[in-house]
Each structure stands twice: as C-alpha cells, then as structure tokens.
Amino acid sequence: MIAKSRVKLILGIILFGCLLALLYATLTGLGALVTYFNSGADPESALKLIPSAPADLKDRLTWLADYPTDIEGRPMAPFTREEIGGAYLNAWAQWGIAYELQQPYGLKTYFTRPALDAVSSAITATVAAGWRIRQSNLHHTLQLAFYADDGAMVAFTDHETHLVQQILQADGSVGHVNESTSVYDVVMLLEDGNWRIHDLVRRGNGPPLRVERSDQAAGTAGFVYVQGNELRLNGQRYQVAGINYYPQASPWTQFWPEYDPGETKVDLDLIRQLGLNSVRIFISYVDFGGDKVDLARVKGDCYPV
C-alpha cells in the first residue's frame, strides 16, 4: 500500500507538470502574436476590425419645422425624434462602411426591403464593376411629413443629403472626389424595436459642390474629363466623334430587356473600325427604376469606346 506522503508527492509532480505545460503554451502563443505584428502583417486583418461610424455623427443632422398638414397625426416626442434621426444617420454611416468593406455588411440592422435590396445592389454592382468607393455623409436636413398613430411608421424629406464620395484606383489612391447634395423622400418603419429605412427615393439632385480629379488618375481610370473648356483623356485633348447606339436586333425599348454583351462587343469593335470613339446610350425609364429616376437628369450619357 502506497504511503500518503508518496501519493501527495506524485500528485504534486503531476500538477507542477501541468502548470509548466500551460505556461509554455501561453508564452508560445504570445510569442507568435508578437512575431506576427512585427513581421509587417496588417493588425486589422489579425483582429478583424470593422470600420466604425464617425464620432461626430449625431451632430450631422438638423430638423426643420414639420410640414403643415390637415391630417391629425400622433404628436412626436422629442425622444422619438432623436431616435429616428439617430437611426437614419447610422443607416447612412453603415452604407459607407459597407462600401469600405466592399460587401453589404450590417445593412439589415438599418434597412429593410425594398430599401435594403436597393442599397445592397448598389454595393454589389460597384464591386462587380471593379470600383472602390469611400462615402461619407456630412449633413442631413430633415422635415417631418407624417407620423403614424401607432408610432410604427414615419415619413420625412431629407432636403440636404450632403455626401462626399472618393473613387479609388486599384492601388488605393484617390482618382476622383465628388461632393454633392441630393433630396430624398424617406419612409422608416419601427421593427422589433429598431427604426429601419423602408423607402429611400431620390427626388432631386443639387449641383456638385466640388469635383476633384488629377489628369494622371483620370487617365489611368480611362475617364474622359473636363479641363478648362476641353475634354481630355489620358492627359490628351479628346475630340468626340460618336453616334447614338442600340443593337440592331434589340432597338429602343428592347435594348435593356434583351441585352446581349456579345452582340454589343461586336458592335463596339465595328464602331472603332469606323473611326468613331464615343457612343451615347439611352436609359429606359421603366427598366431603371421608374418613378425613382430623376428624368430631368437622365438624357443619355457619352462613353469612350
């Protein structure tokens, strides 16, 4: 029979061995982490940090006096107005974060269908086209139009959606900066205790406040841009020689519903052979958003070919 003192000694040795093993594993893990950070790796990729909303976000909103109306509605408490404004600002901030991450990240927290589908599609289409965008909302000026009796729906106009968008090159440099204002009609719903944007319809655009782009960056991206009173491409004067375009097999209103990339490529090759360098295409009111399209601005666009 083993003496108690011997049993205690054996147990002590086993416990001490376990502690040594645990200490070794801890030191090894810390050493690997230090080596990782000192080897030029991106700390953000290791910790999987997500871009955050600006600290001054809550200061970027102003409420105007409510629209005058003959419809009796539920009075809106200041706290509710603050909640709605905060959720609206957060939605725009999250949209910018999703652009930064190049995926519809976190949008379901602040958007619901159909606005959710529209915003998600904008991001996926941008990524598919090879673009990278940084978007920042600088200010919003809201005017309440309707607040439901049950307190679950609100409608308002954002008279000043003040945005700055940076279009990034493949190397991450800024190739184009656009600062502009737009007017949006907005409907938000209260779902499971959270205000979400249900409809976000652009009603009009203000003129661009600031457009910056370097000749080199614009040329690298393949843009035709304005310099003085001239059009330029790749730093050289660009003389437009073009035509209106739609495929022979699917003219006018059939162009977009029956769009064939292969046929368009053949046509563009023929246009180049004829010595032309631009085409103007027509955007269908029905196929591109119906009443969500600002018809005053959609008149066709000219593209280098």
pLDDT tens digits, 28-40? 655 554 444 444 4
Residue 305 has pLDDT above 70, yes or no: no
Q: Where are the beta strands (DSSP E) in the chain?
A: 61-63, 132-147, 153-168, 174-191, 194-205, 210-212, 225-227, 230-233, 236-237, 242-244, 278-281, 301-304
Tens digits of per-residue pLDDT, 217-240?
Answer: 444 456 777 776 778 777 788 888
Residue 153 is predicted with a pLDDT of 94
Q: Is the pLDDT of residue 110 over 90?
A: yes
Q: Has residue 141 got a pLDDT over 70?
A: yes
Tokens of 111: 């958007």
pLDDT of residue 219: 46
d(CA 54, CA 97): 10
Residue 215: pLDDT band (50, 70, 90) is: very low
pLDDT digits (tens, 9 = 90+) for 4-30: 666 566 666 777 667 766 766 665 655
Neighbouring CB atoms inside 10 A of 189's CB total 16
Query: Mean pLDDT over residues 258-281, rounded?
Result: 87
Hey, what CATH topology would domain 55-208 get? Nuclear Transport Factor 2; Chain: A, (3.10.450)
pLDDT band at 135 (very low <50, low <70, confident <90, very high): confident
Cite the beta strand spans of 169-300 per DSSP E: 174-191, 194-205, 210-212, 225-227, 230-233, 236-237, 242-244, 278-281
pLDDT given for residue 284 in this prediction: 65
Q: Is 58:83 a contact under the CB 8 Å cutoff?
A: no
Task: State the pLDDT at residue 212.
Answer: 52
Task: Check pLDDT > 90 for residue 298.
Answer: no
Percent of the chain with pLDDT over 70: 66
pLDDT at 235: 74
Radius of gyration of the chain (CA): 29
- pLDDT confidence of residue 166: 82
| pLDDT(118) > 80 | yes
pLDDT tens by residue, 36-56: 444 444 444 434 445 555 555
Count of alpha carbons within 13 Å of 184, Cβ hemisphere only?
Answer: 23
Share of the chain above pLDDT 90, in %: 23
In this structure, what is the dihedral angle of CA atoms 220, 226, 229, 232, given to the nearest 10 degrees? 20
Confidence tier at 158 by pLDDT (50, 70, 90) = very high
Task: Report domain extents, the chain.
Answer: 1-49, 55-208, 240-304
Q: What is the pLDDT of residue 45?
A: 41
Q: Which of 127, 85, 132 is nearest to 110 (CA)?
A: 85
pLDDT confidence of residue 2? 57
pTM over 0.75: no
More confident residue, 260 or 298: 260
Residue 119: pLDDT over 90: yes
Amino acid sitting at position 181: T
Residue with the larger pLDDT of the pair 259 and 106? 106
